[in-house]
Structure 1
Amino acid sequence: MPTRPSGTGSRDPQDHPTADRGHRGVRRRLRGATVIAAVAAVAATVLAACSDDTSSGAEVTLLTHDSFTLPDSVFDAFRQQTGLTLKVVRSGDAGQLASTVSLTPGSPKADAVFGIDNTFASRPIEAKALESYRSPLAANGSADYAVPDSDDQLTAVDRGDVCLNVDDSWYSDRGLAAPQSLRDLTEPRYRDQAVLLDPATSSPGLGFLLATIGTDQRGWRDYWSKVTANGASIVSGWEIAYNQLFSAGEGKGAKPIVVSYASSPAATPGTSAILDSCFRQVEYVGILRGTRNLDGARKLVDFLLSETVQRELPDSMYVYPVQRDTPLPDGWQARAPVPRWTINLPPTYIAANREQWLQQWREAVGR
């Protein structure tokens, strides 16, 4: 039997006012990258090196996922504030990052890691691959998303809640009522309209599975059986689902319901998120045990919680900032509001039950 958590849902600790700056309509949401088991070779990108000082203290290296992106002005600000050049090493997605870090405790490939989320946070913690550090800026919001009993080994930087997205224009054009809840996907009137994600190969797919488990711990397997019997498609990754099969995606597919993020409607007008179906996915930064630049890594953690970075996160990576009073871009409050309630399962609970849940999910959907 799965280990039972202390709770399955929680109120969000913050709300954000509307921003006073424009929103760039660029769809950069790649965090649905496929989770692969093998650790691939990493590709490094050195950003803005303007100093002749080549001592170890002049550079800090960040290991992160393939979708990490921030404006050059942010990296310039880091160098100006700290005197350090930031070297970015990209390596897969959240699951791959967790594996890479967990396999190299004490002999890290970088000074810090960003992008491990709460579905995999327990791996590097249990592997003793991280240093404890509590940023003085964390009290302004980040600490509200801390991993329980982790001794500050991971610091929350952003959240990107996984939930169902609906093409409202598709339904209005046909004079039909759009689904309003998770449960609606089992109804005959929504037959063959949804495209979902395999939780064994997709990070948001795993998040959505956890949303269904957190919503109904006893009946979630029956829910999945009914949804698939009602014609829901299941594909391997977010790119296929959203950009090829979703009717509001780039490929203008045939499916008006898709698993994505609460923030996705900000980039796709005419769509909305079903906010009763969201799993809170939090991304963290951590200092790698064995770093040769501990002071630089701490400065990087502080910097990622600064207003300079937090206000750039929505436009750059389509995620919500965790620091309080960080403005959202124009239009986000209307099209992509922060969910006021989400499913929130402890990382240790997820780790203890992940493989069992995946096997039960396969049985429920006939895979």
Structure 2
Amino acid sequence: MSIAKKGITNKDITKKVGVLAVGLGMVGTLAACGSSSDDAGSGSGDSKTVTLVSHDSWAASKDVIAAFEKSSGYKVKVLEDGDAGQAVNKAVLTKDNPQGDVFFGVDNTLLSRALDNGLFQPYEAKGSDQVRPEYRTDRDKHRVTPVDTGDICVNYDKAYFDQHG
């Protein structure tokens, strides 16, 4: 039996699960990367290289990175830092001497840890005004940018529950 037959819709699930249903990625500039100069790429030590820190299950295609490098003039160095929890914990522990310039892939379960520890500087991404309000977890501070949502599907064995209550 589908949950729709029980009167529960995807919209209901989204509302009830709320932020949990949102696979919130972010592209935020690490607050500690700022220096007294205006050089970009301070985490990498090279003003023409941007070091992007992420968890090891995320991968940008070579074409996407090449297109960014061509359009921006910056080289991208990707630093995979374990699973999402490890990556956030390492970023917190190294925030006074960050390993990267940009962090991608903090989901909603780890977001409060990143925000509470001041990892990100405000940055308002182009098009962020189009993000639905329920997905703006950082409200109007613009320290994180949601990039996608994840649906949750609940499957169950109707016959089992009919037999066992």
TM-score scaled to structure 2, two decimals?
Answer: 0.63
The match for 1:121 is: 111
The match for 2:77 is: 87
Amino acid at match of 1:108: P
C-alpha deviation, 1:123, in angstroms:
0.3
Aligned with residue 120 of structure 2, among 122, 130, 149: 130
C-alpha deviation, 1:97, in angstroms:
2.0
Q: State whether structure 2 residue 71 is matched by structure 1 residue 97.
A: no
Q: Give ranges in structure 2 of 5+ residues lacking alignment.
A: 1-14, 24-44
C-alpha deviation, 1:150, in angstroms:
6.8
Per-residue deviation, residues 18-59 of structure 1 (Å, max 9, x unmatched) = xxxxxxxxxxxxx9xxxxxxxxxxxxxxxxxxxxxxx82211
C-alpha deviation, 1:188, in angstroms:
5.3
2:109 and 2:159 map into 1 onto residues whose CA distance is: 25
Q: State whether structure 2 residue 85 is matched by structure 1 residue 111.
A: no
Contact 2:138 2:144 (C-alpha < 8 Å) held by counterparts: no
Change (3 A) 1:161 1:91: farther
- 1:270-349 to 2 correspondences below 5 Å: none
C-alpha deviation, 1:153, in angstroms:
1.3
Count of residue pairs brought into register by the alignment? 127
2:57 and 2:78 map into 1 onto residues whose CA distance is: 12
Change (3 A) 1:128 1:58: same
Amino acid at match of 1:105: K
1:131 and 1:109 map into 2 onto residues whose CA distance is: 15
Q: Secondary structure at the match of 1:187?
A: helix
Q: Secondary structure at the match of 2:148?
A: strand
TM-score scaled to structure 1, two decimals?
Answer: 0.31
Contact 1:143 1:156 (C-alpha < 8 Å) held by counterparts: no
2:100 and 2:159 map into 1 onto residues whose CA distance is: 44
**Percent pairwise identity:** 29
Aligned with residue 143 of structure 2, among 153, 161, 184: 153
Q: Secondary structure at the match of 2:109?
A: coil
Aligned residues: CA RMSD: 3.2
Contact 1:104 1:129 (C-alpha < 8 Å) held by counterparts: no
Structure scoring higher RCO (CA < 8 A, sep ≥ 6) equals 2
Aligned with residue 46 of structure 2, among 51, 56, 71: 56
Per-residue deviation, residues 79-125 of structure 1 (Å, max 9, x unmatched) = 11101111111112222222112222232111111111011100011
1:161 and 1:107 map into 2 onto residues whose CA distance is: 36
Aligned with residue 187 of structure 1, among 149, 161, 165: 161
Contact 2:51 2:101 (C-alpha < 8 Å) held by counterparts: yes
1:153 and 1:131 map into 2 onto residues whose CA distance is: 6
Contact 1:93 1:115 (C-alpha < 8 Å) held by counterparts: no
2:151 and 2:159 map into 1 onto residues whose CA distance is: 19
Q: Secondary structure at the match of 1:107?
A: coil
2:101 and 2:132 map into 1 onto residues whose CA distance is: 20
